[in-house]
Structure 1
């Protein structure tokens, strides 16, 4: 896969043709999507697949329960409602992703980040095969009937539905804000332009090149809810180095803007998780790495203030940036078994 090109060219597809999607292809793409996610180990999400006419119809009926109760929808002619149901039912396949429950907020975010990363990988891999997808989290569909249909358990987080199918025409690209316009550097008097190493120097320009591809992440309405804080060679970096123990590292904090609407908050968090996954895919061909983590201290606003984090913001993840050193890389663990069931 040409990762930069695919990330930039992928589009959200809202109109699918009637070409069937082979279930074997869906499973194969899911397995590949899991393998592309670097943080392997215990599976922290599950997935339901609706690919038969019966399961698709049952899913859409459960999604429409709350919508039919809406007073504006009640004024619509029944033929229009039936047309909508028919249109969604005819989408060849639906994948419902659910993040597993967790005992604390940090682990819950870890699980949610994992499922969002796999969903993004699936979209990119599907695009390479001519498959389009629509990531759907519409709160209108999140009603008791729908949640019962997907078997959402207490503590689990619904991450979204990927409506999947082949398409005849992709939408035109919409401009993204350059990463430079959302970039802040904290360093040695503004001189921290490189990651210091005896063998490799990674310029901020190289990091920005990666980010300018990574910002082509799916996000509803192109809200672009992120900003980037590059930390190197300062007291703030020292605080991070104490946590990571690698004196050659610098760090990139991925920060989410505040959104009043809880549903948009969740969507924005998912979009930033996709951006981070894009970064990790993009650096695979480079002589440096970007290792994602969600440390406990990011949930303490007082500890975040040193990096200029405002009360209406939150750090989503910390990317440790450094040179590749195979001698320091641990052996990769086998990928988790695919946790997919048929609806």
Structure 2
């Protein structure tokens, strides 16, 4: 796959044609999507596939249960409601993603980040096969009947639905904010072109080139809730270097804005996870390695202060980047366990 081109060309699709989506293709793409995810640990998650007319109808009926209770919807003409149900039912296939929760926040985040990353990988791989997707987490659909239909169990977390299918026309591109405008440097100098360190072999400018492709990540309404903190040549960098064991690495903290609305906050976290996954895919075309981690210290506000993390922000992940094909101190982890069942 030409990762830079596919990441920039992919679009959210809202109108699908009637061409069926082969279940065998979905399973193949899911396996490939899972294999492209690399991080610490072995996150646990599962996926449901609704590809038959019967399963799609059951899913849409369960999604509509909460919506039909809305005062606004009750005032809508029956024909309009039926049209909406038919439109969603006619989408050729749906993938429902569920992440396991954990006893601590870090492991829960690892599981959720893995699911979001695999969803992004699936969208990119699907795009290469002419498949479009719509990532849906609308709380209006999350009724008790919907959660029962997907079999959500205690200790699990609904991550989202990918509505998928072939399409006739892709929407036009919408502008992305350059990574330079979301960039903070801690170290020698204050500008990207002035951050060339003898210790760090990868320049900040090279990382910005990758980020300017990575920002073409799916995010609702193009809120672009991310910020990048490049750390080198300081006591803060020494702390990160100590934790990684590689003094020649470049370190990048990926930060997410935390919206007051819990649903938007979750959507924004997912968008940042997709951006991070884009970075990992883009690095594959360069003679670099990238190590993605979620250190325990990011959950301690006092330890985050030296990096300028604001009260309405959180660190999503630490990226360590260096030259050579693989991080010398870290073997690649196995892909997340793939568990896909038919609804």
**Equivalent-residue separation in structure 1 for 2:327 and 2:100 (angstroms):** 34
**Equivalent-residue separation in structure 2 for 1:216 and 1:335 (angstroms):** 24
How far does residue 38 in structure 1 lie from its aligned partner after superposition?
A: 1.5
Q: Secondary structure at the match of 2:284?
A: helix
Could you say what the CA RMSD is over the residues aligned between the two structures, in angstroms?
1.7
How far does residue 151 in structure 1 lie from its aligned partner after superposition?
A: 1.0
**Equivalent-residue separation in structure 2 for 1:75 and 1:110 (angstroms):** 42
**Equivalent-residue separation in structure 1 for 2:204 and 2:327 (angstroms):** 25
Contact 1:292/1:319 (CA < 8 Å) preserved in 2?
Answer: yes
Q: Secondary structure at the match of 1:274?
A: helix
Contact 1:101/1:157 (CA < 8 Å) preserved in 2?
Answer: yes
Q: Secondary structure at the match of 1:328?
A: coil
How far does residue 250 in structure 1 lie from its aligned partner after superposition?
A: 2.1
Normalised TM-score (structure 2): 0.95
- The answer to whether structure 1 residue 110 and structure 2 residue 110 are counterparts is yes
Q: Secondary structure at the match of 1:13?
A: coil
Deviations 1:131-169 (A, max 9, x none): 000000000001111011111112211110000000000
Report the counterpart of residue 140 of structure 1 in structure 2: 140
- The answer to whether structure 1 residue 30 and structure 2 residue 30 are counterparts is yes
Contact 1:195/1:250 (CA < 8 Å) preserved in 2?
Answer: no
Give the paired residue count.
Answer: 341
Contact 2:39/2:291 (CA < 8 Å) preserved in 1?
Answer: no
Gaps of 5+ in 2: none
Distance 1:258 1:39, change over 3 A: closer
How far does residue 290 in structure 1 lie from its aligned partner after superposition?
A: 2.2
**Equivalent-residue separation in structure 2 for 1:109 and 1:313 (angstroms):** 15
**Equivalent-residue separation in structure 2 for 1:4 and 1:167 (angstroms):** 22
Q: Secondary structure at the match of 1:119?
A: helix
**Equivalent-residue separation in structure 1 for 2:231 and 2:331 (angstroms):** 28
Normalised TM-score (structure 1): 0.95
Deviations 1:98-143 (A, max 9, x none): 0112111000000000000000000000000000000000000011
Report the counterpart of residue 195 of structure 2 in structure 1: 193
**Equivalent-residue separation in structure 2 for 1:250 and 1:85 (angstroms):** 50
Distance 1:203 1:107, change over 3 A: same
Report the counterpart of residue 151 of structure 1 in structure 2: 151
Report the counterpart of residue 282 of structure 2 in structure 1: 282
